[in-house]
Amino acid sequence: MEVNHGTSPQKLPSRNFRYYDLIMAAFVTVIIATNMIGAEKVVTVFGFTFGGGILFFPISYFFNDILTEVYGYARSRKVVWAGFISLFFTMAMAQVILALPPAQGWMHQQAYEVVYGQTPRIVVASLVAFLCGEFANSFVLAKMKVWSNGKYLWTRTIGSTIAGEAVDSVIFYPLAFVGFWPTELLIRVMIMNYLIKVLWEIIATPMTYRVVRFLKQAENEDYYDRNTNFTPFSLRL
């Protein structure tokens, strides 16, 4: 297995990976689906109140952890930007379609508005929280890998999720729902959602180990971000 220690801060070696594009596609799919389907619905199950999308949104952190651990921060950064652009386009498209006048006799405009009519405030909150949370997750994991010299993967996946999901939650819920939800409900949902996200990562740890081990062997790659430029505002590998 090639252990790449990231000796150049300017450019990663040119490589063709078998599974990188598939993971990117899966990541983008999860981001779009969770933001468009489950972001606004609040559910109560067994006495616990949380946002419905939270059952699936942590999958994006699962993929982000795998990408950073195996391929490095720069390649993970490229995937995060792909997710951001795709999410922005999806939300913009929804707003345009909703604004177009419905044909006479078409009776589903109200239903479309209920399902897809996210306010600009929620759109902005989703986009900002997504970028900040995903980059925080990737940064923490990459740094912890270097500090631990690649040992104790579980500390990196859980630790980065604790940081990334905290950033995401603290940004998204106040930006999206302060003044719209009662304060008590907002705080309760924000805390419960955060705990569920972290718990999801803990439960998924055995699966993360298996996937990471498989990818490192299949791709012959195990990247260490020792001299990486961690700016989020770049697509350069």
Q: How far is CA 168 from the centre of its chain?
A: 9
The CA–CA distances, whole Å, from 96 to 37, 41, 100 equal 18, 22, 6
**H helix intervals, the chain:** 20-37, 58-71, 73-99, 109-116, 120-147, 153-177, 183-203, 205-219
**What averages of pLDDT result for each successive group of 10 residues across the chain (237 residues)?**
58 82 95 78 78 83 96 96 94 90 92 79 89 97 97 97 96 90 88 90 96 97 95 89
Most distant pair of Cα atoms in the chain: their distance: 65
- Domains contained in the chain, CATH given: 18-223 (1.10.1760)
* Closest C-alpha among 144, 135, 98 to residue 120: 98
Pairing of strands 222-223, 3-4: parallel
Q: Rounded distance, CA 58 to CA 204, Å? A: 10
Q: What pLDDT, on a 0 to 100 scale, did the predictor assign at position 6?
A: 57
What pTM was estimated for this model as a whole?
Answer: 0.89
Q: What pLDDT, on a 0 to 100 scale, did the predictor assign at position 138?
A: 97
Q: What pLDDT, on a 0 to 100 scale, did the predictor assign at position 222?
A: 96
Q: What pLDDT, on a 0 to 100 scale, did the predictor assign at position 61?
A: 94
